[in-house]
Amino acid sequence: MPDNTRRARDEAFWHTFADRYSVEPGPVNLENGYFGRMSRTVVEEYQRNIELINRSNSVHVRQRFEQGESLQIRAQLAELVGVPAETIALTRNASDGLQSLIRNYNRLTPGDQVLMCDLEYDTVKGAMRWLARNRGVEVIEIEHPHPASFDSLLATYREAFVRYPRLKLMALTHVTHRTGLVMPVLAIAAAAKELGIDVILDGAHALGQFEFNLDKLGIAFAGYNLHKWIGAPLTLGFIYIAPERLTDIDPDMGEMHFPITDIRARTPYSTPNIPALLTLPLVFEEHRAMGGSAAKGARLNYLRNRWVSAVRELPGIEVMTPDDPRLYCGITSMRFTRHADQQSMVERLLKDYNLFTVARSGAASGPCIRITPGLTTTAADIDVLSKALNELR
Ligand SMILES: Cc1ncc(COP(=O)(O)O)c(C=O)c1O
């Protein structure tokens, strides 16, 4: 058994690991998809940086941060995701970055078509619809059949590519926040490329949850945040633009602080959360020290598989992601098929079992309950969940 798989089951290891995090007493949090906890040492470092920047004010920021530390931090981030530093620009989160990419993509002409599916994040959907009003393009919205398979996902895109010959741009979500489905990005991007369709990838839930090679995905444009599975303070994200495609994204609203050849001109210029940025080196160090995305992903998958395998076959329960390891990760939704109102079941899970989850709607397959373990979740927590789902169904 590979090390990460063995360690994923080692409750003693994860118990010790969990000691690095302060956790408020209360319900068992199975809604870690919103954002991740920082470790206690990261919180302390963040607090130190708040005090440092507050004391030193613009003297530190102008003398040391702007031309020095911020570039080093960007270089470290680029190294973490395996791309050259010049291909990424820091943003405040994933939404800002993705909206900048969509807003400033300059290859659309009136009459072109742009594509998205039911599983995209709402800020991405809103931005794609904004293109229709402001660029005169037609927005094509497709739905994925459920249950999905690797082939059905790819076939749905291939059919759309043929049916809508004026497609120029599409949104693609690596891991959908609605059901947790992992898209076969490499295969979809390759099929899109054959027809000259550009992809803007929403990687918000992918980064840190499993390993991938950003510059080998075949994607020219992508947006990420750092607060879900990397363990960074809130308010940080970044965009990636493949170097040969930089000219296809305009500087953001006439942005002129950086040369036109600099990716940083593609995002709004504003005063960032400097203490949070200064905390990133420690965040990256801790992420690497615990085995990075491979180790985190193996643990989250183990916890996901533990409850999914316990309930998958039970009448009255539908698990929304398949068991094809290419198509799932730690975050996975389910539905009580005999209960119309999933929100009321979220409330039962909380009231009767002390389990905190969240209802999600918007997928063509209907409303569901999203279950997201975190790095402090135990196998015992998951067993309470399995028991609760069985009893409530
Ligand atoms: C798939 C997906 N995309 C984008 C976002 C937006 O991320 P942010 O809050 O960093 O803007 C989220 C947030 O949950 C998400 O789940």
Q: Which amino acid is at 323?
A: D
> What atom of ligand 1 comes closest to residue 95's alpha carbon?
11
Ligand 1 pocket residue status of 177, Cβ below 6 Å: yes
Domain ranges in the chain are: 4-30+292-392, 48-286
In tens, the pLDDT along 126-167 reads 999 999 999 999 999 999 999 999 999 999 999 999 999 999
Give the pLDDT confidence score for residue 24 in this predicted structure: 95
Atom of ligand 1 nearest to the CA of 98: 4
pTM above 0.95, yes or no: yes
pLDDT tens by residue, 10-24 = 999 999 999 999 999
C-beta neighbour count of 35 within 10 angstroms: 17
Give the separation between CA 297 and CA 29, rounded to whole angstroms. 18
**Of all helices (H) and strands (E), which one includes residue 60?**
helix 40-60
CA distance 177 to 310: 23
Is residue 251 within 8 Å of 265, Cβ to Cβ? yes
Q: Look up the CATH number of domain 4-30+292-392.
A: 3.90.1150.10
- Ligand 1 and 223: CB distance under 6 A: no
Name the class of domain 48-286: alpha beta
Is the CB of 228 within 6 Å of ligand 1?
no
Predicted confidence (pLDDT) at residue 1 exceeds the cutoff of 70:
no
Check pocket membership of 121 for ligand 1, CB cut-off 6 A.
Answer: yes
Q: Which two tokens stand for residue 42?
A: 């990261």
Q: How far apart are the first and last CA of the chain?
A: 35
Distances (CA, A) of 191 to 149, 159, 174, 199, 333: 16, 11, 16, 11, 28
**Is the beta carbon of 181 within 6 A of some atom in ligand 1?**
no
Q: Given ligand 1 and candidates 34, 90, 93, 370, which is best to mutate, with the most ligand atoms within 8 Å of its CB? A: 93
Residue with tokens 């992601």: 321
C-alpha distances in Å from residue 317, one per residue of 10, 49, 59, 299, 350: 28, 47, 59, 24, 18
* Residue 2: pLDDT band with limits 50, 70, 90: low
